[in-house]
């Protein structure tokens, strides 16, 4: 289960740590020990011209993203290459061991789009001789980011691969981060965008990789529109309801391979997703889904949630040690908690449902099951009687949310959904139509509602039962764009944005989910006890624009009295509030605590592409801060 060295043609090398920096060979090298490194090579081409008049040796590198091309000086001429929007995968699943510095045949047809655009940008190329045509394979990951970190399948086996054009720019930082990970036994900062655990085993499928990287190469110069989705290798993972949602006009995004409905154009309509910085065709549709959740009832297919079954006589004791909140609750109760590292910062946030004396179900984010399974398995005691099983694909999840959710569920079930019969944070088995499901009274949208965990064989049955009864209650399908806007109005945090290995629960405003008095403590307990008495000079705040028109996307700078103090981690349009809303961390430079008085006394602005917009910052969410809507 762990690396002990490397076998080479010169003999064995013993080592406790092995780092796979095998370039485009990293994929097949990792496969020999059962590790997935999703890389696939594309043919990457460039030309070198004869000497050209007016090309000095210190000519700056030129890039023309609209033309997918770049230029740099080379021996008095130009080296011109690019990243065409539809690349040519190298038709070679197994790369020969002796191919180092090997070249591929010229392909002028593939290079034509780059050559045509280069002639537009540098017309003198037409009369300049070409000295060299280079075509060599270069490997790419499914999302363009490189792969870094300890493989979840083999302890002590690290990977640093898939860098391609980012390799030189990232080399110093990536090397430092990898070295610190090896020494500390865990990442010392937020590396989630490049963490090897963002991929699962199925991402190593050669046929899928070949399809995906044809698009990935072109992302280097493609416009990074907000909401942009990759289009290749899809559909990939599908909910049992995929075809029904598609017939209802769903426009799908993808996360961890799952096809997820982002918004609905309406039954029989083809969604027209227009990428841009303003209000596209999706905006009004999302507004209607948002309002239906606040005023009536919606159903969202959230099958992509990660689900991990924890079983064994030591399950409670181990989860108590791993979770910051108290999970020693009665059967039928659910607990929201953070999973922390020794620094007291987030490794994950999740909900734990107690299904039996020795049986718990963990619900986590769509992107996190591999990471969470790895972290939990590494931290469960060596002699603990506990098994963890990823059961994500066994359950469909339907979130039924809104003030009419109780009436709808009562219509299709004989169970008692009243406050007395089904309190908040409880989970139980109920019948929905002819299907039997686990119903959990939780919400990520700030309204009365239930998450239904439906065995996949009952997914269609339950979905149809809800819609057959739902018309009288105003039931509407909703997608993830609406979920995002709803959760931001309510100030709910998201993993990877508001909750990262750089953030503590106190900074994130989740101190209520930390039980420092829990017997035996938990991982991160010591760090949080030390932090408890110190002023919070960095805190998460809710942000609401005063101007109702502009759209925020996240990443915008936050200013107080004209000086930068932080940025937005998430943003969207709050259709109930009537303006763009967001969450972001702010920092106070004078070392004093950030409190309501400091937030009320300053002039706050959001810098949107150079335009400063007045905003209100608060420690309280802008919608229903008392939580009365959730109580129903």
Gap between the Cα atoms of 379 and 361, Å rounded:
18
Residue 533 predicted with pLDDT over 90: no
Dihedral sign computed on CA atoms, order 577, 579, 585, 591:
negative
Band of residue 167 on the pLDDT scale cut at 50, 70, 90: confident
| Average pLDDT over all residues of the chain | 96
Residue 408 predicted with pLDDT over 90: yes
pLDDT > 70: percent of the chain = 100
What contacts 558, CB < 8 A, 6 or more positions away?
Answer: 543, 564, 565, 566, 567, 568, 584, 586, 604, 605, 606, 607, 615, 617
Q: What's this model's pTM, rounded to 2 decimal places?
A: 0.96
Band of residue 374 on the pLDDT scale cut at 50, 70, 90: very high
Give the tens place of pLDDT for each residue, 313-329: 999 999 999 999 999 99
Q: What is the pLDDT of residue 307?
A: 98
Residue 489 predicted with pLDDT over 90: yes
Average pLDDT over residues 145-173: 93
Band of residue 168 on the pLDDT scale cut at 50, 70, 90: confident
Least confident piece of the model among 166-170, 234-238, 489-493, 576-580:
166-170
Q: What is the pLDDT of residue 345?
A: 98
Residue 166 predicted with pLDDT over 90: no
Q: What is the pLDDT of residue 631?
A: 87
Band of residue 32 on the pLDDT scale cut at 50, 70, 90: very high
pLDDT > 90: percent of the chain = 97
Instruction: Give how far Cα 550 sits from Cα of 59, 72, 547, Å.
Output: 40, 39, 7
Q: What is the pLDDT of residue 500?
A: 97
Average pLDDT over residues 136-156: 96
Average pLDDT over residues 501-515: 98
Average pLDDT over residues 566-593: 97
Residue 378 predicted with pLDDT over 90: yes
Could you give phi then psi for residue 570, rounded to 5 degrees?
-150, 155
What does the DSSP assignment read for 537-593? -EEEEEEEESSSS----S--EEEETTEEEEEEEEEEEETTTTEEEEEEEEE-TTSPP
149's tokens: 């970190």
Give the tens place of pLDDT for each residue, 189-199: 999 999 999 99
Average pLDDT over residues 460-480: 98
Average pLDDT over residues 58-79: 96
């Amino acid at each position: 289960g762990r690396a002990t060295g490397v076998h080479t043609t010169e003999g064995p090398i013993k080592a406790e740590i092995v780092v796979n920096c095998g370039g485009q060979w990293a994929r097949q090298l990792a496969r020999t020990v059962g590790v997935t490194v999703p890389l696939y090579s594309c043919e990457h081409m460039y030309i070198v011209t004869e000497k050209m008049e007016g090309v000095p040796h210190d000519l700056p590198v030129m890039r023309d993203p609209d033309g997918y091309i770049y230029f740099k000086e080379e021996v008095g001429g130009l080296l011109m290459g690019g990243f065409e929007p539809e690349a040519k995968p190298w038709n070679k699943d197994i790369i020969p061991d002796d191919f180092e510095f090997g070249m591929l045949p010229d392909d002028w047809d593939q290079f034509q789009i780059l050559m045509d655009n280069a002639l537009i940008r540098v017309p003198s190329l037409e009369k300049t001789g070409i000295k060299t045509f280079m075509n060599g394979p270069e490997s790419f990951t499914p999302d363009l980011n490189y792969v870094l970190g300890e493989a979840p399948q083999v302890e002590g086996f690290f990977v640093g691969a898939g860098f391609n054009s980012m390799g030189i720019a990232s080399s110093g930082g990536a090397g430092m981060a990898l070295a610190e990970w090896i020494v500390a036994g865990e990442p010392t900062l937020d590396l989630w965008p490049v963490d090897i655990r963002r991929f699962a085993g199925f991402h190593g499928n050669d046929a899928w990789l070949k399809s995906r990287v044809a698009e990935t190469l072109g992302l280097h110069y493609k416009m990074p529109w907000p909401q942009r989705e990759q289009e290749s290798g899809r559909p990939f993972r599908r909910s049992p309801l995929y075809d029904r949602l598609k017939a209802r006009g769903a426009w799908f995004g993808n996360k961890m391979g799952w096809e997820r409905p982002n918004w609905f154009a309406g039954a029989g309509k083809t969604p027209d997703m227009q990428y841009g910085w303003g209000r596209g065709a999706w905006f009004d549709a999302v507004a209607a889904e948002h309002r239906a959740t606040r005023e009536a009832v919606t159903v969202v297919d959230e099958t992509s949630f990660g689900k991990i079954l924890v079983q064994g006589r030591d399950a409670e004791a181990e989860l108590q040690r791993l979770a910051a909140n108290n999970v020693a609750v009665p059967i039928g109760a659910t607990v929201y908690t953070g999973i922390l590292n020794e620094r007291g910062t987030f490794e994950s946030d999740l909900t734990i449902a107690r299904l039996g004396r020795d049986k718990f179900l963990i619900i986590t984010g769509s992107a996190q099951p591999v990471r969470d399974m790895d972290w939990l398995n590494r931290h469960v005691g060596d002699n603990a009687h506990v098994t963890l099983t990823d059961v994500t694909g066994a359950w469909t999840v339907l979130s039924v949310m809104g003030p009419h959710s109780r009436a709808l569920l009562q219509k299709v079930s004989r169970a008692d959904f009243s406050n007395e019969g089904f309190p908040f944070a409880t989970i139980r088995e109920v019948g929905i139509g002819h299907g039997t499901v686990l119903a959990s009274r939780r919400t990520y949208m700030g309204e009365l509602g239930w998450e239904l965990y439906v065995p996949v064989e009952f997914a269609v049955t339950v979905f149809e039962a809800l819609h057959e009864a739902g018309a009288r209650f105003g039931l509407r399908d909703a997608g993830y764009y609406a979920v995002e806007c709803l959760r931001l109005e309510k100030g709910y945090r998201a993993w990877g944005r508001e909750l990262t290995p750089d953030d503590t629960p106190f900074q994130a405003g989740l101190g209520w989910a930390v039980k420092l008095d829990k017997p035996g403590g938990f991982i991160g307990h010591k760090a949080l006890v030390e932090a408890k008495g110190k002023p919070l000079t960095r805190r998460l705040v809710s942000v609401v624009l005063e101007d109702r028109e502009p759209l925020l996307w996240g990443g915008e700078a936050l200013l107080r009295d004209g000086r930068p103090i932080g940025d937005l981690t998430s943003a969207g349009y709050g259709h109930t509030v009537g303006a763009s809303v967001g969450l972001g961390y702010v920092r106070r430079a004078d070392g004093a605590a950030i409190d309501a008085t400091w937030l009320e006394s300053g002039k706050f602005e959001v810098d949107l592409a150079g335009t400063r917009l007045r905003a209100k910052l608060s420690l309280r969410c802008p919608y229903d801060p008392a939580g009365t809507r959730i109580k129903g």
